[in-house]
A and B are shown apart, each in its own frame.
Chain A
Amino acid sequence: MRFKPKYRWLPTPYRSMLLLLVWLLLNQSVEAVHLFFGSVLALVIPLLTLRFRDPQPLIERPVLALRYILRVFGDIITANAQVAVLILGPKRRLNPAFVRVPLDLQHELPITILASTVSMTPGTVSAEIYPSAELLVPGEPLPQRWLLIHVLNLSDEAELVASIKQRYEAPLKEIFQC
């Protein structure tokens, strides 16, 4: 995991790109004026807000991150279709369950992304990460942390845990190199 940015004047390169993109979308144009002003904002805002934020790990593999986003988009569409079928289908057939997934990730940012992804994808909502951060004792080695998820219709617990770990957690580990 890397925290130190490559250039000091550009602490969060991808967030700057996102800011520029949002600015262009808000103005709905790619004219030179908007490009210039958007770039100024994208450079100045991260520098001004740098001190308000905790340092977060940097994305090491942008191409992989892009592929991850596209994969999640695809999964959101299938998730919606699946949940729609489950909701309209007979209630008695549903097997709700609480499942816990052991986490290999340790830093908060990748864990947050994983939890959000799990919430958006088929039939699962992430409920809690425990032991919670306030129970961690600084200085002691990190205990095994778990992600508690609620599943709308559980068919095979081991398979679900394995698919979450391999489909979402493994790429996140690659992206942040941790």
Chain B
Amino acid sequence: MQHWMEWAVAFFLLLGGSFVLIGSIGLSRMPDFFMRLHGPTKATTLGMGGILLGSIFFFSISGDVSVHELLITIFLLITAPISAHMLIKTALHHKLKAIDKTAGLDNIHPAQQKQHDRQPKP
């Protein structure tokens, strides 16, 4: 393997790894559920992208061209926002408390209105 390619693989692995680490730090460090969600949904996508790019480089130079990893990236990009959406919807449904300085808390209430809250039709 050429020397500079090793550098490229190492660079992408480190980049990806540090973004995943930052996402996890955000998960443990933020004060309330809604803020915790931001780390894993975003920092982790780029982190995984970096690790997978490293994998593409590594396997492409040590053998055949390897592009499977692109599929993982695509599926991750499609599913990450949906799982985040399901989590935050559940949090709203359970009426989890956001920290006090959160602005616009009154915007939540209409979103929590569901079918059974409505007046039954005569």
The chain A residues found within 8 Å of chain B, CB to CB, are 22, 25-26, 28, 76-77, 79-80, 83-84, 86-88, 91, 94-100, 115-117, 119-120, 123, 125-128, 130-132, 134-135, 146, 148, 150, 152, 154, 157
Which residues of B have CB within 8 Å of A96?
A: 32, 34-35, 98-99, 101-103
Determine which of A28, A80, A115, A131 lies in contact with B43 in the assembled complex, contact meaning CB atoms within 8 Å.
A80
Whether B82 lies near A116 (C-beta < 8 A) is: yes
Question: Given A84-B43, A116-B85, 20 other A-B contacts at CB below 8 A?
Answer: A25-B71, A28-B64, A28-B66, A28-B68, A83-B42, A91-B30, A96-B35, A97-B103, A98-B103, A98-B105, A123-B38, A125-B38, A125-B88, A128-B88, A130-B111, A135-B118, A146-B110, A148-B111, A150-B34, A152-B38
Whether B41 lies near A119 (C-beta < 8 A) is: yes
Whether B107 lies near A79 (C-beta < 8 A) is: no
Determine which of A79, A128, A134, A152 lies in contact with B111 in the assembled complex, contact meaning CB atoms within 8 Å.
A128
Supposing A116-B82, A134-B115 touch, asked if A98 and B102 sit within 8 A by C-beta, the answer is yes
| Cβ distance A12 to chain B, nearest Cβ, rounded Å | 16
Q: How many A-B residue pairs have CB under 8 A?
A: 138
Q: How far is the CA of A83 from the CA of B46 in the complex (A)?
A: 11
What interface size band does chain B fall in?
35 or more
Which residues of A have CB within 8 Å of B34?
A: 96, 125, 127, 150
